[in-house]
Structure 1
Amino acid sequence: QFLYFIGPRLTPTMAAIVNAINDNVLPALTSAASNTYVLGALGLAATGFVVMKVNAARKRSAFMATVKAMPKGVVYLYAIPRLLKGTPHLGHSATKVEAFLRVHNIPYEFHFLMDGPSYSPTETIPFIALDGELIGESQFCIDALKKRFNIPQDEGLTPVQAAVHTSIRRIVDLSLYQHNSRTTFVDNPSVMKQMMVEKFAPAAGVPGFVIGFMFGKFRKATINRLNVSGLGWFDDERYQIEATRDVAALSAFVQDADARKHKYLFGNKATSADTLLYGFVSSVLAFPELPNNGRAVQAIRDDKALNAYVKRFEAEFYADLDTIAPAGPATQKFAK
C-alpha cells in the first residue's frame, strides 16, 4: 500500500521501478505463505530505497531553488574540497574550468560539495551554476561560459591549432586520466587511501572510516570503468609504455611552443587548452610518491618543459595558490 501511495510522487524512472515491483515481484512472492519473511524484507528494502530517493529529490529541489535565486553574471563552480598543496585541485577538470574563469577575468565563487554528483545534471564534478541553470561536464561548462561572456568558441585558433587543442583534450581527458586512475587508485591503493583519510576526511568534515569505506567502493568502480575501456586488461608494462608516450606528446607540444617563443601553447595568451594542460600537470606534480607503476607520473616530474610551463601559468593566474589550497568545506569568492 505504501508503494502504491508513494508511486505518483516519484520521478518517471523511480515510478517505473516501483510499479515493476508492485506488478511483478510482489504477486509472485505473496503466492506462498512461506515467503512472508522475504516479502517483509523486500518491503522494508523498497521503503528504504524510496525514502532515500525522496530525500535526495527534496535536496535537489532545494538546491535548484537556491540556484534560481543566485545573482546573474556570477559563475558558481562546484567540486570537492581542495586537498593538496601545490595545485588548485586534485581533479584536473575542476582546475580546467576555474583557470578558464581566471584567464578571462570572470567573477566566480568556488563551492565545495561532498555529494556534488548528486546535484550535477550529468552526475559528474565539476559543474557550474550560471544564470539560474546547472551545467555539467568541464568542456560543456567552458562552451557555455564562452557563449555567455562573448568569448569566440574557436578562441581565435587556426584550424591546425584547433586540431592540436583537440588532440590535447583527447590525450588528457580520455587517455592519461584513465592511466592515472589506474596508477593511483588501483595500483597504489594504500598510498591514496591514506592521503584521502588524512586530507579528504578533515576537509569534508567526516570520520576517516567513512572515507575508507568510500575509497573501497570508488576503487571497485574505477576497476570496472578501466575494464570497460580496455585499459584494465593491459599488463603493467604495456600500460606504462602507453602512458609515457602520452606524456612525451604533451611535452612535445610545449617544447614546440617554446621554440616558437610562445608563452603558452598557441601564443602569449592562454586558451582553454592551456587551462586543461595546466590543470592536469599541476595535479600530477602534487601527487604523493607512488611506488607501484608510477613511471608516467615520474616522467612528468622529470620533464623540464612541463614544469617550466606550470610555473609560467601559475605566475600569471595563480599567484594566490598558497593561500587557497588546501581548503576546507567552505566557499571561496573571486571577483574581477
Structure 2
Amino acid sequence: MCNEVLPLHRPKAYVGTTCPPGTVLLHQYPRGDWAPSVSPFPIKLETYLRMANIPYKNHFTVKASAKGKCPWMTYNGVDVADSQFCIDLLNKEFSVDLNKHLSAEERAVALAFRKLIEEDLYWCGLLERWVYGDKHYVAKLVKLSYMIIVYISYKLGRNAWAHGMGRHSPEDVRSVGKIDLLALSTFLGNKTFFMGDEPSEIDCALFGALAQVKWHFAPNIYTQLLKDELVNLSDYCERMKDRIWPDWDDCITHGGTRTATK
C-alpha cells in the first residue's frame, strides 16, 4: 500500500518559496477562475491541509513533479509526488486521522468510493473536458493557446486510451460518468458530508472532483445532472466551500478579472 513506501526524491531549489521546517510547500497550478484550481487534485490536497490544520505555503507553478503530474509538495527538504502519497505522509508526520470517527467498515466504503472518483469518474471528466468538449472554452479556462490545447487533448486522449476508458465511445463514457455520479448522490443522500455529520478524508477527493463539474466545466451532461437531478451533490459543494474555504473569493480570479490574493 502507499502508506508503506513513499516515492521521495531530493528537490531542486525554489527561489522565493522556502518554508520553515514543519511547513508544507504546496506546488500547484495557478488559481482558477471560479474554483481554487482547474484540476481536482490540487483542490483535494489543499482541502486536506486545511481540514488537518497543517501549515502550508502555496507555490503556484506549471512545473510538474518527478512523476509528471501536479500537485506535489516539498516537506522538510523532500519532494513528495502524488496527492494521496502527500496525504499519507502528512497523516504520519502530524498524527492526523480525519477518519477517526469512522468504523472499519465505513473506512473501507470510503476507500472504495475514492477509487471510483479518482480511477473512474476522473477519466470520464478528463475526456469530457479535454477530448470531447469545447477546446476554446478550455483554452480560456487554463490560459493557454488553442493550438497547445489541441496538442494536450491529443496526449490526454492517448493516456485515456492506454487506461482503457478512452477506448469507449463518448456515449458509453458519459453513461459511465452518469452512473458514478448517481452512485455518489445516492450514498450522500441527505447527509451533511459524504460519510456523515462531519467531514472525513474522502470529502477532500469528492470535493476536488465535484468542484470542477460545478464551477469549471463547460455545460455538459454532468453539469446538467448536478443542476437538475443530483442537486444534493451541488448543495454538498456549497457546504464544503463554506466549511473549509471561507476565503474562497480570495482564492479565485473571478473569471480572470482579479488576481487571487491567497
> What is the TM-score with the length of structure 2 in the denominator?
0.85
Tell me which amino acid in the other structure corresponds to 2:243.
E
Distance 1:105 1:230, change over 3 A: same
Residue 192 of structure 1 corresponds to 135
Within-5 A mapping of 1:101-120: 101-114=49-62, 116-117=63-64, 120=65
Q: Superposition RMSD on alpha carbons, in Å? A: 2.4
Within-5 A mapping of 1:21-32: none
Determine the C-alpha separation between the residues in 1 that align with 2:123 and 2:112. Answer: 16
Residue 90 of structure 2 corresponds to 145
Residue 80 of structure 1 corresponds to 29
SS where residue 216 of structure 2 aligns? coil
1:156 Cα deviation after fit:
4.3
Determine the C-alpha separation between the residues in 1 that align with 2:260 and 2:226. Answer: 31
Residue 232 of structure 2 corresponds to 305
Residue 23 of structure 1 corresponds to none
SS where residue 326 of structure 1 aligns? coil
**Unpaired segments of 5 or more residues in structure 1?**
1-59, 202-207
Determine the C-alpha separation between the residues in 1 that align with 2:241 and 2:146. Answer: 33
1:161 Cα deviation after fit:
0.9
Determine the C-alpha separation between the residues in 2 that align with 1:107 and 1:244. Answer: 37
Within-5 A mapping of 1:166-185: 166-185=111-130
1:326 paired with 2:253, answer yes
Residue 99 of structure 1 corresponds to 47
Tell me which amino acid in the other structure corresponds to 1:150.
S
- Is the contact between residue 70 and residue 132 of structure 1 (CA under 8 Å) also seen in structure 2? no
- Is the contact between residue 188 and residue 195 of structure 2 (CA under 8 Å) also seen in structure 1? no
Distance 1:194 1:267, change over 3 A: closer
The structure with more helix, counted as a fraction of residues: 1
- Is the contact between residue 109 and residue 331 of structure 1 (CA under 8 Å) also seen in structure 2? no
Pairs aligned (count): 248
Tell me which amino acid in the other structure corresponds to 1:127.
W
Which segments of structure 1 move beyond 4 Å, counting only runs of 4 or more?
A: 330-333
Residue 3 of structure 2 corresponds to none
Residue 208 of structure 2 corresponds to 279
Distance 1:228 1:270, change over 3 A: same
SS where residue 268 of structure 1 aligns? coil
Report sequence identity in percent: 24
- Is the contact between residue 111 and residue 332 of structure 1 (CA under 8 Å) also seen in structure 2? no
Within-5 A mapping of 1:154-165: 155-165=100-110
Q: CA deviation digits over 1:266-309, x for unaligned, max 9?
A: 2332111011111111111113434xxx3233213331111111
Tell me which amino acid in the other structure corresponds to 1:90.
V
Distance 1:285 1:78, change over 3 A: same
